[in-house]
Structure 1
Amino acid sequence: MAMNPAPPLLEVSGLCVGRGTQRILDGVDLRIDGGEIIALLGANGAGKTTLARCVAGLMRPVAGSVWLDGARVDSMHPSSRRALGMAVNHWLLPLELSGHECVQLFARAQGQPGHAPAAAPLLLSLGLDASRLAQPLGCYSLGMRQKLGLALGMLGSPRLLVLDESLSGLDAVSLAAAEALLRARCAQGAAVLLATHALEHAARFADRLLLLHAGRVAGAWRRDELTVLAGQGHDLLQVLGAATAIQAASGGAG
Protein backbone atom coordinates (compact mmCIF):
# COMPACT_ATOMS: atom_id res chain seq x y z
CA MET A 1 0.00 0.00 0.00
CA ALA A 2 1.37 3.41 -0.98
CA MET A 3 2.07 5.72 1.91
CA ASN A 4 0.45 9.14 1.95
CA PRO A 5 2.99 11.95 1.53
CA ALA A 6 3.65 14.01 4.63
CA PRO A 7 1.64 17.26 4.71
CA PRO A 8 3.64 20.43 4.05
CA LEU A 9 4.72 22.58 6.95
CA LEU A 10 3.14 25.61 5.26
CA GLU A 11 0.31 25.51 2.72
CA VAL A 12 -1.07 28.67 1.10
CA SER A 13 -4.11 28.14 -1.13
CA GLY A 14 -5.84 30.65 -3.42
CA LEU A 15 -4.66 33.64 -1.42
CA CYS A 16 -6.17 36.96 -2.53
CA VAL A 17 -5.61 40.42 -1.05
CA GLY A 18 -7.29 43.55 -2.39
CA ARG A 19 -10.69 44.42 -3.80
CA GLY A 20 -12.10 44.10 -7.29
CA THR A 21 -9.44 44.57 -9.95
CA GLN A 22 -7.02 46.13 -7.43
CA ARG A 23 -5.47 42.88 -6.30
CA ILE A 24 -2.10 42.82 -4.54
CA LEU A 25 -2.26 39.02 -4.41
CA ASP A 26 -4.43 37.17 -6.89
CA GLY A 27 -4.76 33.47 -6.16
CA VAL A 28 -1.34 32.60 -4.74
CA ASP A 29 -0.59 28.94 -4.00
CA LEU A 30 2.51 27.97 -2.03
CA ARG A 31 3.77 24.87 -0.23
CA ILE A 32 6.85 24.69 1.97
CA ASP A 33 8.20 21.53 3.57
CA GLY A 34 10.28 21.37 6.71
CA GLY A 35 13.97 21.81 5.98
CA GLU A 36 13.45 24.20 3.06
CA ILE A 37 14.55 27.79 2.52
CA ILE A 38 12.26 29.50 0.01
CA ALA A 39 12.97 32.91 -1.49
CA LEU A 40 10.22 35.21 -2.75
CA LEU A 41 11.52 37.50 -5.47
CA GLY A 42 9.84 40.36 -7.25
CA ALA A 43 9.96 44.04 -8.00
CA ASN A 44 8.68 46.61 -5.53
CA GLY A 45 4.91 46.25 -5.31
CA ALA A 46 4.92 42.63 -6.49
CA GLY A 47 3.28 41.47 -3.25
CA LYS A 48 6.24 39.97 -1.36
CA THR A 49 5.63 41.81 1.90
CA THR A 50 1.87 41.29 1.64
CA LEU A 51 2.33 37.54 1.24
CA ALA A 52 4.83 37.44 4.12
CA ARG A 53 2.40 39.32 6.37
CA CYS A 54 -0.47 37.00 5.45
CA VAL A 55 1.67 33.97 6.24
CA ALA A 56 2.59 35.55 9.59
CA GLY A 57 -1.08 36.22 10.41
CA LEU A 58 -0.57 40.00 10.38
CA MET A 59 -2.89 40.60 7.41
CA ARG A 60 -6.23 38.98 6.63
CA PRO A 61 -6.80 37.96 3.00
CA VAL A 62 -10.13 38.47 1.25
CA ALA A 63 -9.99 34.88 -0.02
CA GLY A 64 -7.86 31.81 0.40
CA SER A 65 -6.23 30.18 3.38
CA VAL A 66 -2.89 29.78 5.15
CA TRP A 67 -2.18 26.61 7.11
CA LEU A 68 0.92 26.23 9.25
CA ASP A 69 1.83 23.02 11.03
CA GLY A 70 -1.75 21.78 10.82
CA ALA A 71 -3.44 24.96 12.11
CA ARG A 72 -5.13 27.72 10.12
CA VAL A 73 -3.06 30.85 10.60
CA ASP A 74 -5.80 33.44 10.19
CA SER A 75 -7.66 31.90 13.10
CA MET A 76 -4.59 32.77 15.20
CA HIS A 77 -4.76 29.40 16.87
CA PRO A 78 -2.17 29.20 19.66
CA SER A 79 -0.33 26.35 17.95
CA SER A 80 0.14 28.37 14.76
CA ARG A 81 1.44 31.33 16.78
CA ARG A 82 3.99 29.11 18.52
CA ALA A 83 5.06 27.57 15.23
CA LEU A 84 5.85 30.90 13.57
CA GLY A 85 8.55 33.49 14.01
CA MET A 86 8.95 36.69 12.01
CA ALA A 87 12.11 38.76 12.05
CA VAL A 88 11.43 42.29 13.28
CA ASN A 89 12.15 45.03 10.77
CA HIS A 90 14.78 47.43 12.05
CA TRP A 91 12.46 50.46 11.91
CA LEU A 92 10.00 48.76 14.29
CA LEU A 93 12.49 48.20 17.10
CA PRO A 94 11.98 50.36 20.22
CA LEU A 95 15.10 52.53 20.10
CA GLU A 96 14.78 53.68 23.71
CA LEU A 97 15.34 50.13 25.00
CA SER A 98 18.65 48.35 25.28
CA GLY A 99 19.22 45.20 23.28
CA HIS A 100 18.93 43.15 26.46
CA GLU A 101 15.63 44.81 27.42
CA CYS A 102 14.30 44.21 23.93
CA VAL A 103 15.14 40.49 24.14
CA GLN A 104 13.48 40.31 27.55
CA LEU A 105 10.34 42.00 26.21
CA PHE A 106 10.00 39.68 23.23
CA ALA A 107 10.83 36.58 25.26
CA ARG A 108 8.11 37.38 27.80
CA ALA A 109 5.62 38.06 25.00
CA GLN A 110 6.29 34.52 23.77
CA GLY A 111 5.83 33.05 27.21
CA GLN A 112 9.53 32.36 27.71
CA PRO A 113 11.57 33.26 30.79
CA GLY A 114 12.38 36.94 30.82
CA HIS A 115 16.11 36.39 30.78
CA ALA A 116 15.78 33.99 27.80
CA PRO A 117 19.01 32.08 28.48
CA ALA A 118 18.55 30.01 25.33
CA ALA A 119 18.91 33.19 23.29
CA ALA A 120 22.48 33.87 24.44
CA PRO A 121 24.26 31.53 21.97
CA LEU A 122 22.00 32.78 19.17
CA LEU A 123 22.77 36.42 19.93
CA LEU A 124 26.48 35.75 20.33
CA SER A 125 26.69 33.94 17.00
CA LEU A 126 25.33 37.09 15.36
CA GLY A 127 27.93 39.29 17.06
CA LEU A 128 25.63 40.61 19.78
CA ASP A 129 27.57 40.03 22.99
CA ALA A 130 26.79 41.36 26.47
CA SER A 131 28.48 44.72 25.82
CA ARG A 132 26.43 45.26 22.67
CA LEU A 133 23.19 44.20 24.33
CA ALA A 134 23.75 46.69 27.15
CA GLN A 135 23.62 49.59 24.66
CA PRO A 136 20.36 51.34 23.67
CA LEU A 137 19.12 50.38 20.23
CA GLY A 138 19.34 54.01 19.19
CA CYS A 139 23.13 53.56 19.24
CA TYR A 140 23.03 50.48 17.01
CA SER A 141 24.07 50.55 13.36
CA LEU A 142 21.58 49.36 10.73
CA GLY A 143 23.36 46.02 10.54
CA MET A 144 23.20 45.52 14.31
CA ARG A 145 19.47 46.28 14.33
CA GLN A 146 18.96 43.82 11.48
CA LYS A 147 20.82 41.13 13.43
CA LEU A 148 18.78 41.78 16.57
CA GLY A 149 15.54 41.70 14.57
CA LEU A 150 16.57 38.37 13.07
CA ALA A 151 17.41 36.98 16.50
CA LEU A 152 14.04 38.11 17.90
CA GLY A 153 12.26 36.22 15.15
CA MET A 154 14.21 33.07 15.99
CA LEU A 155 13.41 33.12 19.72
CA GLY A 156 11.55 30.02 20.78
CA SER A 157 12.80 27.93 17.83
CA PRO A 158 9.77 28.46 15.53
CA ARG A 159 8.96 25.85 12.88
CA LEU A 160 8.68 28.57 10.23
CA LEU A 161 10.76 31.75 10.14
CA VAL A 162 9.52 34.60 7.94
CA LEU A 163 12.11 37.15 6.80
CA ASP A 164 11.05 40.29 4.95
CA GLU A 165 14.20 41.98 3.60
CA SER A 166 15.82 40.97 6.88
CA LEU A 167 19.29 40.29 5.48
CA SER A 168 19.95 43.62 3.80
CA GLY A 169 22.51 45.75 5.59
CA LEU A 170 24.50 42.76 6.86
CA ASP A 171 28.22 42.57 6.15
CA ALA A 172 29.77 39.42 4.67
CA VAL A 173 30.72 37.93 8.05
CA SER A 174 27.25 38.54 9.51
CA LEU A 175 25.60 37.18 6.37
CA ALA A 176 27.62 33.97 6.67
CA ALA A 177 26.67 33.69 10.35
CA ALA A 178 23.00 34.19 9.49
CA GLU A 179 23.21 31.55 6.78
CA ALA A 180 24.77 29.06 9.20
CA LEU A 181 22.00 29.70 11.75
CA LEU A 182 19.25 29.30 9.18
CA ARG A 183 20.76 26.10 7.80
CA ALA A 184 21.12 24.68 11.32
CA ARG A 185 17.44 25.41 12.04
CA CYS A 186 16.41 23.80 8.74
CA ALA A 187 18.50 20.71 9.53
CA GLN A 188 16.26 20.34 12.60
CA GLY A 189 13.11 20.44 10.46
CA ALA A 190 12.29 24.14 10.43
CA ALA A 191 11.74 26.16 7.26
CA VAL A 192 12.46 29.73 6.12
CA LEU A 193 10.44 32.04 3.89
CA LEU A 194 12.64 34.90 2.69
CA ALA A 195 11.01 37.84 0.88
CA THR A 196 13.68 39.87 -0.89
CA HIS A 197 14.43 41.89 -3.99
CA ALA A 198 18.14 41.00 -3.68
CA LEU A 199 18.87 38.14 -6.07
CA GLU A 200 22.29 37.58 -4.54
CA HIS A 201 20.70 36.78 -1.17
CA ALA A 202 18.13 34.48 -2.76
CA ALA A 203 20.67 32.61 -4.88
CA ARG A 204 22.94 32.16 -1.87
CA PHE A 205 20.36 31.01 0.68
CA ALA A 206 17.39 29.48 -1.06
CA ASP A 207 16.60 25.91 -2.03
CA ARG A 208 13.79 27.21 -4.24
CA LEU A 209 13.14 30.66 -5.70
CA LEU A 210 9.65 31.91 -6.52
CA LEU A 211 9.03 34.99 -8.66
CA LEU A 212 5.98 37.09 -7.82
CA HIS A 213 4.53 39.26 -10.56
CA ALA A 214 1.13 40.92 -10.82
CA GLY A 215 0.04 39.22 -7.61
CA ARG A 216 0.79 35.70 -8.76
CA VAL A 217 3.65 33.21 -8.81
CA ALA A 218 5.14 33.79 -12.26
CA GLY A 219 8.07 31.40 -12.07
CA ALA A 220 9.79 28.87 -9.82
CA TRP A 221 13.31 27.48 -9.83
CA ARG A 222 15.25 25.02 -7.72
CA ARG A 223 18.77 25.91 -6.67
CA ASP A 224 20.26 23.24 -8.93
CA GLU A 225 18.38 24.68 -11.91
CA LEU A 226 19.83 28.11 -11.21
CA THR A 227 23.28 26.58 -10.84
CA VAL A 228 22.95 25.00 -14.28
CA LEU A 229 21.81 28.28 -15.81
CA ALA A 230 24.69 30.14 -14.21
CA GLY A 231 27.13 27.46 -15.40
CA GLN A 232 25.89 27.94 -18.94
CA GLY A 233 26.75 31.62 -18.73
CA HIS A 234 23.22 32.88 -18.20
CA ASP A 235 22.75 36.08 -16.25
CA LEU A 236 20.25 35.13 -13.53
CA LEU A 237 18.88 38.65 -13.38
CA GLN A 238 18.10 38.38 -17.08
CA VAL A 239 16.45 34.99 -16.56
CA LEU A 240 14.15 36.39 -13.90
CA GLY A 241 13.56 39.56 -15.88
CA ALA A 242 12.60 37.56 -18.97
CA ALA A 243 10.12 35.53 -16.91
CA THR A 244 8.56 38.75 -15.66
CA ALA A 245 8.31 40.17 -19.18
CA ILE A 246 6.73 37.00 -20.54
CA GLN A 247 4.24 36.97 -17.68
CA ALA A 248 3.32 40.60 -18.26
CA ALA A 249 2.86 40.03 -21.99
CA SER A 250 0.52 37.12 -21.32
CA GLY A 251 -1.72 39.28 -19.19
CA GLY A 252 -0.51 38.11 -15.80
CA ALA A 253 -1.76 34.56 -16.02
CA GLY A 254 0.17 31.84 -14.24
Structure 2
Amino acid sequence: MAMNPQPLLLDVRGLCVGRGAQRILDAVDMSIASGEIVALLGANGAGKTTLARCVAGLMQPRAGSVWIEGARVDSTHPASRDALGMAVDHWLLPLELSGNECVHLFARAQGQADYALTAAPLLLALGLDAALLTQPLGCYSVGMRQKLGLVLGMLGSPRLLVLDETLSGLDAASLAAAEAQLRARCAQGAAVLLVTHALEHAARFADRLLLLHAGRVAGAWRRDELAALARQGHDLLQVLGAAAATRAASGGAG
Protein backbone atom coordinates (compact mmCIF):
# COMPACT_ATOMS: atom_id res chain seq x y z
CA MET A 1 0.00 0.00 0.00
CA ALA A 2 1.40 3.40 -0.95
CA MET A 3 2.29 5.76 1.84
CA ASN A 4 -0.12 8.66 2.31
CA PRO A 5 1.77 11.88 1.47
CA GLN A 6 -0.32 13.95 3.90
CA PRO A 7 1.06 14.58 7.41
CA LEU A 8 -0.25 12.45 10.25
CA LEU A 9 -2.97 14.14 12.25
CA LEU A 10 -3.77 11.24 14.60
CA ASP A 11 -1.22 8.67 15.78
CA VAL A 12 -2.31 5.89 18.16
CA ARG A 13 0.50 3.72 19.53
CA GLY A 14 0.16 0.46 21.46
CA LEU A 15 -3.12 1.40 23.12
CA CYS A 16 -4.25 -0.98 25.88
CA VAL A 17 -7.40 -0.66 28.01
CA GLY A 18 -8.58 -3.18 30.59
CA ARG A 19 -7.43 -5.07 33.64
CA GLY A 20 -5.29 -8.17 33.74
CA ALA A 21 -6.18 -10.59 30.98
CA GLN A 22 -9.48 -8.79 30.33
CA ARG A 23 -8.52 -6.30 27.66
CA ILE A 24 -10.98 -4.09 25.81
CA LEU A 25 -8.15 -2.76 23.63
CA ASP A 26 -5.01 -4.80 23.13
CA ALA A 27 -1.97 -2.96 21.69
CA VAL A 28 -3.93 -1.01 19.09
CA ASP A 29 -1.92 0.96 16.52
CA MET A 30 -3.65 3.24 14.02
CA SER A 31 -3.14 6.57 12.31
CA ILE A 32 -5.13 9.10 10.30
CA ALA A 33 -3.60 11.58 7.89
CA SER A 34 -4.76 15.12 7.29
CA GLY A 35 -7.69 15.14 4.88
CA GLU A 36 -8.75 11.54 5.59
CA ILE A 37 -12.05 10.04 6.66
CA VAL A 38 -11.41 6.72 8.41
CA ALA A 39 -14.29 4.43 9.40
CA LEU A 40 -13.94 2.09 12.36
CA LEU A 41 -16.16 -0.99 12.24
CA GLY A 42 -16.59 -4.03 14.45
CA ALA A 43 -19.10 -6.12 16.34
CA ASN A 44 -20.64 -4.99 19.60
CA GLY A 45 -17.98 -5.19 22.30
CA ALA A 46 -15.06 -4.97 19.86
CA GLY A 47 -13.79 -1.81 21.57
CA LYS A 48 -14.82 0.85 19.04
CA THR A 49 -16.33 3.33 21.48
CA THR A 50 -13.51 2.75 23.96
CA LEU A 51 -10.98 3.61 21.25
CA ALA A 52 -12.95 6.72 20.27
CA ARG A 53 -13.09 7.85 23.91
CA CYS A 54 -9.34 7.35 24.30
CA VAL A 55 -8.70 9.40 21.16
CA ALA A 56 -10.95 12.15 22.54
CA GLY A 57 -9.15 12.13 25.90
CA LEU A 58 -12.27 10.99 27.77
CA MET A 59 -10.66 7.72 28.90
CA GLN A 60 -7.10 7.04 30.01
CA PRO A 61 -5.47 3.89 28.58
CA ARG A 62 -3.56 1.44 30.74
CA ALA A 63 -0.69 1.59 28.27
CA GLY A 64 0.13 3.25 24.98
CA SER A 65 -0.45 6.79 23.79
CA VAL A 66 -2.57 8.99 21.53
CA TRP A 67 -1.05 11.91 19.64
CA ILE A 68 -2.87 14.64 17.72
CA GLU A 69 -0.72 16.89 15.55
CA GLY A 70 2.34 15.88 17.56
CA ALA A 71 0.77 16.70 20.95
CA ARG A 72 0.04 13.87 23.34
CA VAL A 73 -3.58 13.55 24.41
CA ASP A 74 -3.54 13.86 28.19
CA SER A 75 -4.22 16.44 30.86
CA THR A 76 -0.75 18.02 30.49
CA HIS A 77 -1.08 18.82 26.78
CA PRO A 78 -4.09 21.12 26.24
CA ALA A 79 -2.99 21.75 22.64
CA SER A 80 -4.22 18.31 21.64
CA ARG A 81 -7.69 19.07 22.98
CA ASP A 82 -7.84 22.33 21.05
CA ALA A 83 -7.33 20.33 17.84
CA LEU A 84 -10.09 17.83 18.57
CA GLY A 85 -13.87 17.89 18.32
CA MET A 86 -16.26 15.10 19.28
CA ALA A 87 -19.91 15.06 18.26
CA VAL A 88 -22.19 15.03 21.29
CA ASP A 89 -24.40 11.97 21.69
CA HIS A 90 -28.05 12.95 21.26
CA TRP A 91 -29.09 11.47 24.63
CA LEU A 92 -26.58 13.72 26.45
CA LEU A 93 -28.03 17.00 25.20
CA PRO A 94 -29.91 19.12 27.81
CA LEU A 95 -33.52 18.77 26.65
CA GLU A 96 -34.75 21.80 28.57
CA LEU A 97 -32.55 24.17 26.55
CA SER A 98 -33.39 25.51 23.11
CA GLY A 99 -31.11 24.77 20.19
CA ASN A 100 -29.73 28.30 20.30
CA GLU A 101 -29.09 28.11 24.04
CA CYS A 102 -27.33 24.77 23.64
CA VAL A 103 -25.01 26.07 20.92
CA HIS A 104 -24.30 29.19 22.98
CA LEU A 105 -23.54 27.12 26.10
CA PHE A 106 -21.13 24.76 24.34
CA ALA A 107 -19.40 27.58 22.49
CA ARG A 108 -18.89 29.61 25.67
CA ALA A 109 -17.52 26.51 27.44
CA GLN A 110 -14.92 26.26 24.65
CA GLY A 111 -14.07 29.95 24.81
CA GLN A 112 -15.47 30.69 21.35
CA ALA A 113 -16.79 34.22 21.26
CA ASP A 114 -17.38 34.22 17.49
CA TYR A 115 -19.10 30.82 17.30
CA ALA A 116 -22.09 32.22 15.40
CA LEU A 117 -19.92 32.83 12.34
CA THR A 118 -19.17 29.11 11.97
CA ALA A 119 -22.25 27.59 13.61
CA ALA A 120 -24.91 29.41 11.57
CA PRO A 121 -23.89 28.01 8.14
CA LEU A 122 -23.56 24.51 9.62
CA LEU A 123 -26.95 24.67 11.28
CA LEU A 124 -28.62 25.91 8.12
CA ALA A 125 -26.89 23.32 5.91
CA LEU A 126 -28.16 20.53 8.17
CA GLY A 127 -31.73 21.80 8.16
CA LEU A 128 -31.74 23.32 11.65
CA ASP A 129 -33.42 26.61 10.80
CA ALA A 130 -33.89 29.71 12.95
CA ALA A 131 -37.45 28.84 14.00
CA LEU A 132 -36.49 25.33 15.11
CA LEU A 133 -33.51 26.62 17.09
CA THR A 134 -35.83 28.62 19.36
CA GLN A 135 -37.58 25.41 20.43
CA PRO A 136 -36.48 23.24 23.39
CA LEU A 137 -34.46 20.17 22.45
CA GLY A 138 -37.12 18.00 24.07
CA CYS A 139 -39.28 18.82 21.03
CA TYR A 140 -36.63 17.64 18.57
CA SER A 141 -36.62 14.24 16.93
CA VAL A 142 -33.62 11.97 17.54
CA GLY A 143 -32.33 12.82 14.08
CA MET A 144 -32.53 16.55 14.76
CA ARG A 145 -30.60 16.12 18.01
CA GLN A 146 -28.01 14.01 16.18
CA LYS A 147 -27.47 16.84 13.71
CA LEU A 148 -27.16 19.37 16.51
CA GLY A 149 -24.64 17.10 18.25
CA LEU A 150 -22.60 17.05 15.06
CA VAL A 151 -22.62 20.85 14.87
CA LEU A 152 -21.46 21.06 18.50
CA GLY A 153 -18.54 18.78 17.70
CA MET A 154 -17.59 20.94 14.71
CA LEU A 155 -17.61 24.25 16.62
CA GLY A 156 -14.27 25.98 16.36
CA SER A 157 -13.25 24.04 13.23
CA PRO A 158 -11.35 21.23 15.01
CA ARG A 159 -8.62 19.50 13.03
CA LEU A 160 -9.77 16.02 14.10
CA LEU A 161 -13.46 15.19 14.44
CA VAL A 162 -14.58 12.02 16.23
CA LEU A 163 -18.05 10.70 15.39
CA ASP A 164 -19.41 7.72 17.31
CA GLU A 165 -22.49 6.52 15.38
CA THR A 166 -23.38 10.18 14.84
CA LEU A 167 -24.59 9.65 11.26
CA SER A 168 -26.55 6.46 11.94
CA GLY A 169 -30.27 6.77 11.27
CA LEU A 170 -30.16 10.13 9.48
CA ASP A 171 -32.53 10.48 6.54
CA ALA A 172 -30.97 10.53 3.07
CA ALA A 173 -31.04 14.31 2.64
CA SER A 174 -29.56 14.95 6.09
CA LEU A 175 -26.88 12.30 5.56
CA ALA A 176 -25.88 13.87 2.25
CA ALA A 177 -25.69 17.31 3.87
CA ALA A 178 -23.59 15.98 6.76
CA GLU A 179 -21.26 14.19 4.35
CA ALA A 180 -20.80 17.39 2.33
CA GLN A 181 -19.88 19.35 5.45
CA LEU A 182 -17.38 16.72 6.56
CA ARG A 183 -15.81 16.47 3.11
CA ALA A 184 -15.47 20.26 3.00
CA ARG A 185 -13.64 20.24 6.35
CA CYS A 186 -11.32 17.46 5.14
CA ALA A 187 -10.58 19.41 1.96
CA GLN A 188 -9.23 22.11 4.27
CA GLY A 189 -6.92 19.62 6.02
CA ALA A 190 -9.09 18.25 8.83
CA ALA A 191 -9.71 14.53 9.39
CA VAL A 192 -12.58 12.37 10.64
CA LEU A 193 -12.69 9.19 12.72
CA LEU A 194 -16.11 7.66 12.07
CA VAL A 195 -17.30 4.84 14.35
CA THR A 196 -20.16 3.05 12.64
CA HIS A 197 -22.02 -0.23 12.14
CA ALA A 198 -23.13 0.84 8.66
CA LEU A 199 -20.77 -1.12 6.40
CA GLU A 200 -22.28 0.03 3.10
CA HIS A 201 -22.09 3.69 4.11
CA ALA A 202 -18.52 3.31 5.37
CA ALA A 203 -17.42 1.55 2.18
CA ARG A 204 -18.88 4.37 0.10
CA PHE A 205 -17.97 7.40 2.21
CA ALA A 206 -14.74 6.69 4.09
CA ASP A 207 -11.29 6.82 2.52
CA ARG A 208 -10.18 3.86 4.63
CA LEU A 209 -11.96 1.27 6.72
CA LEU A 210 -10.51 -0.39 9.82
CA LEU A 211 -11.99 -3.52 11.38
CA LEU A 212 -11.66 -3.85 15.15
CA HIS A 213 -12.04 -7.38 16.52
CA ALA A 214 -11.52 -8.43 20.15
CA GLY A 215 -9.66 -5.21 20.86
CA ARG A 216 -7.23 -5.50 17.94
CA VAL A 217 -7.15 -4.13 14.40
CA ALA A 218 -8.07 -7.18 12.32
CA GLY A 219 -8.03 -5.61 8.87
CA ALA A 220 -7.65 -2.40 6.89
CA TRP A 221 -8.92 -1.49 3.43
CA ARG A 222 -8.92 1.57 1.20
CA ARG A 223 -12.19 2.61 -0.43
CA ASP A 224 -10.94 1.58 -3.87
CA GLU A 225 -9.98 -1.85 -2.54
CA LEU A 226 -13.47 -2.40 -1.19
CA ALA A 227 -15.02 -1.15 -4.43
CA ALA A 228 -12.88 -3.63 -6.40
CA LEU A 229 -13.95 -6.49 -4.13
CA ALA A 230 -17.61 -5.53 -4.60
CA ARG A 231 -17.21 -5.43 -8.39
CA GLN A 232 -15.70 -8.91 -8.25
CA GLY A 233 -18.84 -10.16 -6.53
CA HIS A 234 -17.46 -10.42 -3.01
CA ASP A 235 -19.83 -9.89 -0.10
CA LEU A 236 -18.12 -7.20 1.97
CA LEU A 237 -19.66 -8.45 5.20
CA GLN A 238 -18.13 -11.86 4.53
CA VAL A 239 -14.78 -10.21 3.76
CA LEU A 240 -14.82 -8.52 7.17
CA GLY A 241 -15.93 -11.72 8.85
CA ALA A 242 -13.09 -13.68 7.25
CA ALA A 243 -10.57 -11.05 8.42
CA ALA A 244 -11.89 -11.26 11.98
CA ALA A 245 -11.77 -15.07 11.87
CA THR A 246 -8.17 -14.99 10.61
CA ARG A 247 -7.16 -12.64 13.39
CA ALA A 248 -8.86 -14.84 15.99
CA ALA A 249 -7.24 -18.01 14.62
CA SER A 250 -3.79 -16.40 14.75
CA GLY A 251 -4.29 -15.50 18.38
CA GLY A 252 -4.22 -11.78 17.62
CA ALA A 253 -0.61 -11.87 16.48
CA GLY A 254 0.70 -9.37 13.96
Q: TM-score range by the shorter chain?
A: over 0.9
**Partners of 1:131 and 1:175 in 2: CA distance:** 21
Give the TM-score normalised by structure 2: 0.95
In structure 2, how many angstroms separate the alpha carbons of the residues matched to 1:113 and 1:6? 31
Partner SS for 2:156:
coil
2:58 is the counterpart of 1:73: no
How far apart are 1:115 and its partner, in Å?
Answer: 6.0
> Identity over the aligned pairs, expressed in percent?
83
Shift of the alpha carbon at 1:244? 1.2
Task: Name the amino acid aligned to 1:61.
Answer: P
Change (3 A) 1:115 1:28: closer
Of 39-48 and 107-116, more deviation after overlay is shown by 107-116
2:193 aligned residue: 193
2:182 alignment partner in structure 1? 182
Residue 38 of structure 1: how far off its partner (Å)? 0.3
Give the superposition deviation at 1:75. Answer: 3.1
Q: SS where residue 225 of structure 1 aligns?
A: helix
Match of 1:92, as an amino acid? L
On the 8 A contact 1:90/1:146 being kept in 2, the answer is yes
Aligned partners of 1:105 and 1:114 also within 8 Å: no
Match of 2:49 in 1: 49
Is the contact between residue 11 and residue 66 of structure 1 (CA under 8 Å) also seen in structure 2? yes
1:8 corresponds to which residue?
Answer: 8
Deviation at 1:197, TM superposition (A): 1.4
Q: Equivalent residue for 2:26? A: 26
Which residue of the partner structure matches residue 210 of structure 1? 210
Tell me the SS of whatever aligns to 1:65: strand
1:50 maps to amino acid: T
Question: Mind listing any 5+ residue stretches in structure 1 that lack a counterpart?
Answer: none
Aligned partners of 1:115 and 1:180: how far apart in 2?
20
Matched, 1:36 2:9: no
User: 1:96 is matched by which residue type in structure 2?
Assistant: E
Check if 1:228 corresponds to 2:228.
yes
Bigger CA drift: 44-53 or 106-115? Answer: 106-115
| Aligned mates of 2:78, 2:59 — CA distance in 1 | 17
Given that 2:115 and 2:156 are in contact with CA atoms closer than 8 Å, whether structure 1 keeps it comes out as: no
Is contact 1:41-1:196 (8 Å) kept? yes
Query: Aligned partners of 1:137, 1:6: CA distance in 2, in Å?
Result: 39
Q: Distance in 1 between matches of 2:232 and 2:114?
A: 52
- Does residue 139 of the first structure (1) align with residue 119 of the second (2)? no
Provide the alpha-carbon RMSD of the alignment: 1.3
Are residues 141 and 6 of structure 1, via their aligned partners in 2, closer, same or farther at CA, if it must alter by over 3 Å? Answer: closer
Say whether the 8 Å CA contact 2:6–2:34 is kept in structure 1: no
1:243 matches 2:243: yes
Could you tell me which amino acid in structure 2 is paired with residue 51 of structure 1?
L
Q: Which structure 2 residue ranges, 5 or more long, are not aligned?
A: none
